[in-house]
Amino acid sequence: MKLIKILISVLFVFIFCSPVNAGNISIDKNNGIYHIVLKGEKIKKRIKFVVSEDLITNREAHIKGKGILTVNAGFFDPKNGKTISFVVTDRMTTADPMFNPSLLANPFFRQNMNKILNRSEFRIMQCGNKFEYAITNHKSEVPFGCMLQTSAQGGPLIYPELRLEEEGFVVKDSEGNVIRESASVLHKTSRTIIGLKGTDECHILIITDENPMDMYEVQALCKKLGLDRAMGFDGGSSTSMNYKNKIEVISTIGDNGGRVLKSFMIIH
């Protein structure tokens, strides 16, 4: 009888605590971090970065886009609802920070415009009959024979190198002291991270408030997971995820409905 009870307990843990695995998508949670893995060639065609004209929650974007999985993407200005990140949807630029008047009016942004406009972005390109992932800086040329299908800019590049100063997230004075920091890159907060492993694996890390991290800790985690490249999307209170309306990560802002956002990565 005791052995039967033990076996029942083990079975319960296996059924209710095992990771989600739905074909091309697997989701595991450990120590406050959701680790999502997108595998195979077919799922690349189902990923789309989208922009909302008005700021909406991740939940609203998930329902509107009829997604299986929806996560937050690029940076935006919460005051005017304009983008700070480039986004391409169905081969067309749908978000361009050059049309954000607040960005152009800010003296710091004007002085560092080249760094900000050239921040890292995640791309999906169609190359012949195949689709390919890439993480590169925005101004990088699309390889010959390929077309940019969809993309979202964020930053900074985290792995294999951490480009905080190169992408304008950290500014130091002549003595090496930090005088400006963006996106809380040096402080512990929740994060949305996207990375690549090999040619057919896309990894998404939703680092929740249960285990907030600074970018150096995120870099160490990406190395531990064996990723080849990784970059950040918007984080902090923007960190959000919805999987089939069964798993949801949101901030507590907005009556527990989540922060309103500008751009999203949706898997149909």
Mean pLDDT on 245-265: 83
In whole angstroms, what is the distance from residue 232 CA to residue 156 CA? 6
- pTM exceeding the 0.85 threshold for the entire prediction: yes
Please report, rounded to a whole number, the percentage of residues in the chain having pLDDT higher than 70: 90
Assigned domain for 158 exists? yes
Q: Is residue 10, in this structure, part of any structural domain at all?
A: no
Q: Is the pLDDT of residue 9 over 50?
A: no
* Preceding omega of 156 cis (within 30 degrees of 0): yes
The reply to whether 12 falls in a domain is: no
Contact 151, 185 (CB under 8 A): no
Residues in CB range of 226: below 8 A, 6 or more apart: 197
Question: Is 5 a member of any domain?
Answer: no
Judged against a pLDDT cut of 80, whether residue 14 lies above it is answered with no
For the chain, what is the HEC assignment?
CHHHHHHHHHHHHHHHHCCEEECCEEEEEECCEEEEEEECCHHHHHEEEEEEEEEECHHHHHHHCCCCEEEECCCECCCCCCECCCEEECCEEEECHHHCHHHHHCHHHHHCHHHHHCCEEEEEEEECCEEEEEEEECCCCCCCCEEEEEEEECCCEEECCCCCCCCCCEEECCCCCEEEECCCCCCCECEEEEEEECCCEEEEEEECCCCCECHHHHHHHHHHCCCCEEEECCCHHHCCEEECCCEEECCCCCCCCCCCEEEEEEEC
165 is a domain residue: yes
Select the highest-mean-pLDDT range: 104-108, 221-225, 256-260: 221-225
Alpha carbons 46 and 58: distance in angstroms, whole number: 18
Q: Is residue 124 part of a domain?
A: yes
* Number of domains composing the chain: 1
- What span, in angstroms and rounded, lies between the C-alpha atoms of 143 and 196? 18
pLDDT at 257: 65
Across 32-39, average pLDDT: 98
Mean pLDDT of the region 243-257: 79
Length of the chain: 268
- Whether residue 99 is contained in a domain is answered as yes
Query: Is the pLDDT score of 175 beyond 80?
Result: yes
Q: For position 12, what pLDDT does the model report?
A: 37
- Residue 7 resides in a domain: no
Mean pLDDT value across residues 183-198: 97
Q: What mean pLDDT is predicted for residues 190-195?
A: 98
pLDDT digits (tens, 9 = 90+) for 69-116: 999 999 999 999 999 999 999 999 999 999 999 988 988 888 899 999
Which range marks the domain in which residue 176 is found?
20-267
- Asked if 5 contacts 170 with a C-beta cutoff of 8 angstroms, the reply is no
